[in-house]
Structure 1
Amino acid sequence: MSDEQANAVDRGDGGAEPSTDPDAAEGEPNDAEREPNDASSETGGAPIEEIAERVGDEDPDAVAEEIAALREEAAALERDRDDLESRLKRKQAEFQNYKKRQKKRREREQARATEDLVTDLLEVRDNLSRALEQDADADIREGVEATLRSLEDVLAGEGVEPIEPGSGTETDPERHEVLLRVESDEPEGTVADLHRPGYEMAEKVLRAAQVTVSDGSGAGDGGEGDGDGMDGADGSDGRGE
């Protein structure tokens, strides 16, 4: 046997040469190839282990102090939050109150402006009424009456109501302006005559009605005079006979 044959026999008995089959090269990974994956999986849990080791190495008192400090900081932040919320609510309430005050102020100003205008119009109405009381031409009188009616419609549209107390009405110092006391058959202290009507709007007196008040002097004169006359006549007749 030649040396080449002996070498061939040795290769056949000792093991096959490395295969060049690509399918064989793509087989399962060997242990060397799996080690990096195993190592990476073990490394993935390292942070938790490191944290556990670090906490375990800490002094319990130091950990307790740190926890207490964190709790105090959290409590302080919570107090700050509550304080900010409380301040925000106060500001919101103040703003709402401000809006209400502004609305009321505008309403008062508008009402005051309307009252001033209505008061001026009342003087115009009085002048028109006095003009109708005078003897005037029919053409002029018709125009004045039409103007007066239009003005009264405008006043009524604004909620203006007249104050016109009748004779014998109890006087009201807030609604009646007493000009003087006069002899009248009405009870003492009551309205004798209306001199000028007053006006009110939205339950507020714009102008009090001008009135005269009875002094009560003529309230019982008729009855008392008749009685005295009858007594005198009866007495004189009786004594004369």
Structure 2
Amino acid sequence: MSDEADAGHDEPEPDAPTADEEPDGADGPAESVEETPLADEAAAYDDDLAERVAALEREAADAADRVEELESSLRRTKADFQNYKKRAKKRQEQEKARATEDLVSRLTEVRDNLVRALDQEEDVDIRPGVESTLETFDRILGDENVAVISPDPGEDVDPERHEVMMRVDSDQPAGTVADVYKDGYEMADKVIEAAQVTVSDEE
């Protein structure tokens, strides 16, 4: 056969893939996945962080205001207390001064009575006047809650209220008060001055 005859019979080309067939290497249809971009996530995080920071700053500012308020209140309280102490001390001093003034004014009455007694004629018995003055003086002491310590003969000796001067022969029981040498005084159950006494000797 001739060359021309051979040219008219071309070799068939490979079959093209049909619509139902997929090219080699393809595993299947591509899936569509929707994901949030990283930039959006970062922005959202920044917004949340900014809100938290702002909230903390507001809390810190409120706390600072509260501290300032408490400190101011404490300063006022301290100042008020100092003023109260000053007023209380001044009032105490005034009351003490008034109490002393009142006592002195009553004691002058006793002095006036003694002066009048001494102004009497020499032959005049001044004992009644002195006794009256003593009653006035005792009344003043009683008003000041002062009591005279003057134990009776035969009374037991009280070391807290009696000062033993000496032991003497006496008709009183041994070891008891024989006589009062000098009266003592107590104020509000506190011994100001012990009474000086003599004590009956044991013999």
What TM-score, normalized to structure 1? Answer: 0.46
2:70 aligned partner: 82
- Find the aligned partners of 1:205 and 1:198 in 2 and give their Cα distance: 8
215 and 104 in structure 1: CA distance in 2 versus 1, 3 angstrom threshold: farther
- Aligned partner of 1:61 among 37, 49, 62: 49
- Find the aligned partners of 1:103 and 1:205 in 2 and give their Cα distance: 28
1:72 partner amino acid: A
2:131 aligned partner: 145
- Find the aligned partners of 2:71 and 2:199 in 1 and give their Cα distance: 67
2:151 aligned partner: 165
1:186 partner amino acid: Q
Residues 186, 216 of structure 1: 8 Å contact kept: no
2:180 partner amino acid: L
- Aligned partner of 2:193 among 175, 197, 207: 207
- Find the aligned partners of 2:95 and 2:191 in 1 and give their Cα distance: 18
Identity of aligned residues (%): 37
- Find the aligned partners of 2:166 and 2:181 in 1 and give their Cα distance: 11
Shift of 1:181: 1.6
Unmatched runs of 5 consecutive residues or more in structure 1: 1-57, 218-241
- Find the aligned partners of 2:91 and 2:81 in 1 and give their Cα distance: 15
Instruction: Supply the RMSD in Å over aligned alpha carbons.
Output: 4.0
1:174 aligned partner: 160
Matches within 5 A, 1:98-109: 99-100=87-88, 103=91
2:193 partner amino acid: R
Unmatched runs of 5 consecutive residues or more in structure 2: 1-45
Deviations 1:197-236 (CA, angstroms, capped at 9, x unpaired): 222333333332111122322xxxxxxxxxxxxxxxxxxx
2:138 is paired with a residue of what secondary structure?
helix
Range with greater deviation from structure 2 (162-171 or 59-68)? 59-68
Shift of 1:139: 3.3
- Find the aligned partners of 1:175 and 1:103 in 2 and give their Cα distance: 35
- Aligned partner of 2:58 among 58, 62, 70: 70
2:137 partner amino acid: L
Matches within 5 A, 1:1-241: 59-97=47-85, 99-100=87-88, 103=91, 137-217=123-203
What TM-score, normalized to structure 2? Answer: 0.53
Deviations 1:4-24 (CA, angstroms, capped at 9, x unpaired): xxxxxxxxxxxxxxxxxxxxx
Shift of 1:104: 5.1
- Find the aligned partners of 2:81 and 2:139 in 1 and give their Cα distance: 43
Deviations 1:7-60 (CA, angstroms, capped at 9, x unpaired): xxxxxxxxxxxxxxxxxxxxxxxxxxxxxxxxxxxxxxxxxxxxxxxxxxx944
Shift of 1:103: 4.9
Residues 179, 212 of structure 1: 8 Å contact kept: yes
91 and 62 in structure 1: CA distance in 2 versus 1, 3 angstrom threshold: same
Shift of 1:164: 1.0
2:126 is paired with a residue of what secondary structure?
helix
- Find the aligned partners of 1:59 and 1:162 in 2 and give their Cα distance: 91
- Find the aligned partners of 1:176 and 1:200 in 2 and give their Cα distance: 11
By percentage of residues, which structure has more helix? Answer: 1
139 and 213 in structure 1: CA distance in 2 versus 1, 3 angstrom threshold: closer
Deviations 1:166-189 (CA, angstroms, capped at 9, x unpaired): 122222233222211223343443
